[in-house]
Structure 1
């Protein structure tokens, strides 16, 4: 999957081992965390002008990548995770059906590279491009690094569940063609 704009170039492919080079060490670390907890090996390369564009476009590209992988597949659709990391405790719930994002985080202790704005742009873009409802709620925590990394861990765990194959279509809303 490749996304190329005037602001970014992002490439993501399945791989035999994890290799992530976005040019942003914090985003590299968080994407490795996300895919580790999804139990997927990927190769991601990126070039960008502004970090805001990078984080948003990486979210879009990952959503497009995952959506392509599950096209025409029956999946579990839902995933949930409550995950601690030091002072942080994060709840994430995912429904792969339609786009919506609710991000309830309150970061008191900022840390360079772990900006809430870029993080929100990533999640919103992922939600839109994957057509996923994503709820994230901070139950506890003060440290930006711990909160945001716990969000990526919990999101990876919830996405792993939601993307698993299912024997049936996970919906009671059947479409009947007349």
Structure 2
């Protein structure tokens, strides 16, 4: 899958091993974490003009990539994960059905590269293009690196569960012909 705009050029493809080169070391680290916890090996390559555009378009591209994977398939749909990382404890809950995002994070100890605004843009893009409800709640933590990395771990873990195949359509909303 490729997304090319005037601001970014992002490509994601399945691979035999996990490889990420976005030109942003922090985002590389976090995307490796996300896909590792999802249990998916991919190659991600990106070029960009501004970090904000990279993070936002990366969320959109990942959302499109995952949406293509599950289109017309029965999946478990729901996934929830609570994961710690040092001082941080994060809860992520997902419903792959329609777009909604709630991010309840308060970072006290900032760290360059781990900006909350860029993180939110990535999650918003992912939610919109995967058509998923994503709740991320910080239960504990102060360090930006720990909070955001734990969020990516929990997000990957929750997505892994939600994207698993299901024997049935996971919905009580049925369309009946009259």
Does 2:46 match 1:46? yes
Q: Deviations over 1:137-169 (max 9, x none)?
A: 000000000000000000000000000000000
Q: Which residue of 2 aligns with 1:13?
A: 13
- Give matches, 1:1-178, under 5 Å: 1-178=1-178
Which of structure 1's runs of 4+ aligned residues deviate more than 3 A?
Answer: none
Supply the distance in 1 between the matched residues of 2:69 and 2:117 (Cα, whole angstroms): 28
TM-score, scaled to structure 1: 0.99
Supply the distance in 2 between the matched residues of 1:19 and 1:56 (Cα, whole angstroms): 20
Q: Deviations over 1:93-123 (max 9, x none)?
A: 0000000000000000000000000000000
Structure 2 regions of 5+ residues with no counterpart? none
Supply the distance in 1 between the matched residues of 2:3 and 2:117 (Cα, whole angstroms): 22
Structure 1 regions of 5+ residues with no counterpart? none
TM-score, scaled to structure 2: 0.99
Query: Aligned pair count?
Result: 178
What's the Cα RMSD here? Answer: 0.5
